[in-house]
């Protein structure tokens, strides 16, 4: 068992997933986190719930209401789907802490007052309900989401602000909706107990944005839109509470070092329109334990492990950014408005996905997760999957692709079992294999 001590800052999905996995590897893990200071709701897709379960966060995976109806009014087209679950974020956060406690992870409710880091470790001063406390850690995981201090080399998308309004309405079926507006877009939700949420996302340079003491009145005017009026029919926003927060897409230029790592929104925070925030947080967090374990147990592989983490975060960020760009570009009614014009062109003009071509596949060395650590192996890379694929159904893919350039598929695949051969045939079809 390793004697290394690890402090994780943040007990959201990313921090909880990393902390639980590291505790399972035998590390002494402490999680420092304060409670959320505003009421919020969040949607979880079925794949997020499955990822939470794979991470051992079973209580958190079970707190969603649904699947609930989601209505979208975008570019004048109305669509309705039953595809997601809705969670009270405070209930969800409490469930994450319960999952950590069940794994014997020490959770400390506190604010971080100071942090001093050197190559020898990290010294923290935290403020608990019982007073100040000092902690010492060999390794630090930054998982405080958008609240984490940004590094100077961060890449930022168009500056964006989200204004969240919360009020109590009538009890009813949980539901969500999204609506595009001339100056931005609105997300709305209703929990089963009647709590209502309406969030308006705008450019921070919008000239109509008033001073803070006038924001509630501004939101009241903006809420009288076609879909919102129907969604909240009969639920007057009496005593609505307001929270304003940045929702700018952000990528840290450096996401790790020899004794620290950033995960979740602290490493990359995407535009809320681009995809489920919990999904991208978990995606970066599920790879982190192998990276951290390698840094601590096999320090000679540190450059490889850090390259693995950085490349995957950058790749995921750009994929989400391009997906968000394409969704913004679908709205054609206000293309001359600054909000839509900027976001329909950022981050670049490259496609979110590239057409497959077997002849463009390349075999090369790249970092992979092998036995819970980062190692180097032959992978198959493509324009759409530039980081490469190592295995499909436990079969090494690189030898198969190299053999297919010399021999017919029937000959190459006959040495594989039926499931492996079927999976690789399906993958080859997707790569436009002749």
Q: Both 402 and 305 in a single domain? A: no
| In a shared domain, residues 53 and 122 | yes
Same domain, 254 and 377: no
Q: Among positive and negative, which fits the CA dihedral 292, 296, 298, 304?
A: positive
pLDDT at 326 over 90: yes
Domain annotation covers residue 257: yes
* 146 and 172 both lie in a single domain: no
Inside any domain, residue 308: yes
Number of domains, the chain: 3
Question: Who contacts 315 (Cβ-Cβ below 8 Å, separation ≥6)?
Answer: 386, 387
Q: Are residues 166 and 239 in the same domain?
A: yes
Query: pLDDT at residue 258 above 70?
Result: yes
Question: What residues contact 336, with CB distance under 8 A and at least 6 apart?
Answer: none
**Which pTM value belongs to this model?**
0.94
Do 147 and 178 lie in a common domain?
no
Q: Identify the pLDDT of residue 140.
A: 98
Task: Kindly report, residue by residue over 9-66, the tens digit of the pLDDT.
Answer: 999 999 999 999 999 999 999 999 998 878 889 999 888 999 999 999 999 999 999 8
State the DSSP string of 393-432: TTEEHHHHHHHHTTS-HHHHHTTS-HHHHHHHHHHHHHTT
Kindly report the CATH number assigned to the domain that includes residue 121.
Answer: 3.50.50.60
Q: Which domain holds residue 230?
A: 160-246
Whether residues 242 and 255 share a domain: the answer is no
Does residue 3 register a pLDDT over 70? no
Q: How confident is the model at residue 4 (pLDDT cuts 50, 70, 90)?
A: confident
**How does 133-158 read in b/e, with b if 16+ C-beta sit within 10 Å?**
eebebbbbbbbbbeebeeeeeeeebb
Tell me, what's the pLDDT at 2?
Answer: 47
Q: 246, 263, 297 — which closes off a domain? A: 246
Q: Is residue 69 one of the residues assigned to a domain? A: no
Sheet containing 160-168: which strands, arranged edge to edge?
A: 41-45, 77-88, 65-74, 175-181, 184-190, 195-203, 160-168, 241-246
My answer on whether 376 and 255 are in the same domain is: no
Report yes or no on 336 lying in a domain.
Answer: no
Q: Please state the separation of Cα 208 from the chain's center in Å.
A: 31
Using the 3D structure, point to which of 216, 246, 276 is the last residue of a domain. Answer: 246
Quick one: 129 and 222 in the same domain? no
Residue at 342 is within a domain = no
Whether residue 16 contacts residue 60, with contact meaning beta carbons closer than 8 Å, is answered with yes
Average pLDDT, the chain: 93
Decide: residue 378, CB within 10 A, 0-12 exposed, 13-18 middle, 19+ buried.
middle
Residues 256 and 303 reside in one and the same domain: yes
DSSP 62-125: T--EEEEEEEEEETTEEEEEEEEEEEEHHHHHHHHHHHHHHTT-EEEEEEEEEEEEETTEEEEE
Question: Taking the mean position of all CA atoms in its chain, how far away is CA 379?
Answer: 25
What does the chain come to in residues?
Answer: 434
> How many Cα atoms sit within 13 Å of 383 on the Cβ side?
12
Residue 418: cis peptide before it, omega within 30 degrees of 0: no
Residues 203, 432: Cα–Cα separation, whole Å: 42
For residue 82, being part of any structural domain is answered with: no
CA trace torsion 209, 215, 220, 222 (10° rounding): 20
CB atoms closer than 10 angstroms to residue 419: 11
Do 209 and 260 fall within a single domain? no
Q: What are the two backbone dihedrals, phi and then psi, of residue 345, each rounded to the nearest 5 degrees?
A: -125, -10
- Domain termination residue (choose one: 246, 266, 299): 246
Asked whether residue 77 is domain-assigned, the answer is no
246-281 b/e with 16+ CB inside 10 Å = b? Answer: ebbbbbbeebbeebbbbbbbbbbbbbbbbbbbbbbb
What are the tokens at 20? 């639980």
Quick check: 177 pLDDT over 80? yes
pLDDT tens-place string over residues 193-239? 999 999 999 999 999 999 989 999 999 999 889 899 999 987 777 78
User: Do 264 and 369 belong to one domain?
Assistant: no
For residue 389, what is the DSSP state?
Answer: B
Question: What is the distance of C-alpha 200 from the center of its chain?
Answer: 20
What's the pLDDT tens digit per position in 375-384? Answer: 999 999 999 8
Quick one: tokens of 309? 């983490």
Write out pLDDT tens, residues 260-298. 999 999 999 988 886 567 888 898 899 999 999 999 999
pLDDT value of residue 153: 81
Position 348 in a domain: no
Structural tokens at position 370 = 């092998």
Beta bridge mates, 117: 122
Confidence (pLDDT) at 274:
64
């Amino acid at each position: 068992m390793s004697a290394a001590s690890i402090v994780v800052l943040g007990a959201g999905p990313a921090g909880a997933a990393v902390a639980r996995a590291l505790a399972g590897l035998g590390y002494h893990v402490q999680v420092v986190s304060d409670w959320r200071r505003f009421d919020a709701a969040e949607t979880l897709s079925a794949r997020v719930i499955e990822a939470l379960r794979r991470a051992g966060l079973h209580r958190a995976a079970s707190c969603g209401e649904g699947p609930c109806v989601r209505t979208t009014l975008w570019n004048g087209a109305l669509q309705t789907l039953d595809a997601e679950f809705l969670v009270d974020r405070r209930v969800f956060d409490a469930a994450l802490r319960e999952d950590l406690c069940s794994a014997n992870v020490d959770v400390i409710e506190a604010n971080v007052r100071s942090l001093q880091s050197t190559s020898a470790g990290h010294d923290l001063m935290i403020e608990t309900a019982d007073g100040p406390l000092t902690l010492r850690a060999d390794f630090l995981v930054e998982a405080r989401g958008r609240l984490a201090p940004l590094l100077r080399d961060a890449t930022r998308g168009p500056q964006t602000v989200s204004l969240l309004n919360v009020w109590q309405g009538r009890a009813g079926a949980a539901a969500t909706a999204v609506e595009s507006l001339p100056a931005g877009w609105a997300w709305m939700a209703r929990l089963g107990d009647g709590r209502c949420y309406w969030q308006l996302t705008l450019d921070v340079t919008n000239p109509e944005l008033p001073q803070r003491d006038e924001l509630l009145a501004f939101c009241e005017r903006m809420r009288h839109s076609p879909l919102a009026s129907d969604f909240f029919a009969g639920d007057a926003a009496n005593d609505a509470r307001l929270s304003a927060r940045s929702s700018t897409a952000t990528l840290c230029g450096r996401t790790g070092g020899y004794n620290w790592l950033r995960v979740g929104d602290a490493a990359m925070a995407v535009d809320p329109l681009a995809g489920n925030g919990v999904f991208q947080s978990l995606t970066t967090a599920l790879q982190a334990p192998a990276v951290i374990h390698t840094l601590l147990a096999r320090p000679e592989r540190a450059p490889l492990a850090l390259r693995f983490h950085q490349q995957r975060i950058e790749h995921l960020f750009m994929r989400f950014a391009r997906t968000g760009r394409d969704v913004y570009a679908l709205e054609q009614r206000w293309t001359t408005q600054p909000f839509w014009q900027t976001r329909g062109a950022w981050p670049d003009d490259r496609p979110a996905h590239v057409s497959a071509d077997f002849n463009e596949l390349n075999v090369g060395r790249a970092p992979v997760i092998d036995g819970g650590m980062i190692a180097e192996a032959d992978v198959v890379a493509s324009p759409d999957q530039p980081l490469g694929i190592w295995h499909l159904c436990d079969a090494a893919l690189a030898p198969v692709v190299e053999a297919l350039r010399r021999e017919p598929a029937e000959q190459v695949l006959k040495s594989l079992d039926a499931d492996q051969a079927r999976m690789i045939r399906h993958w080859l079809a997707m790569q436009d294999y002749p």
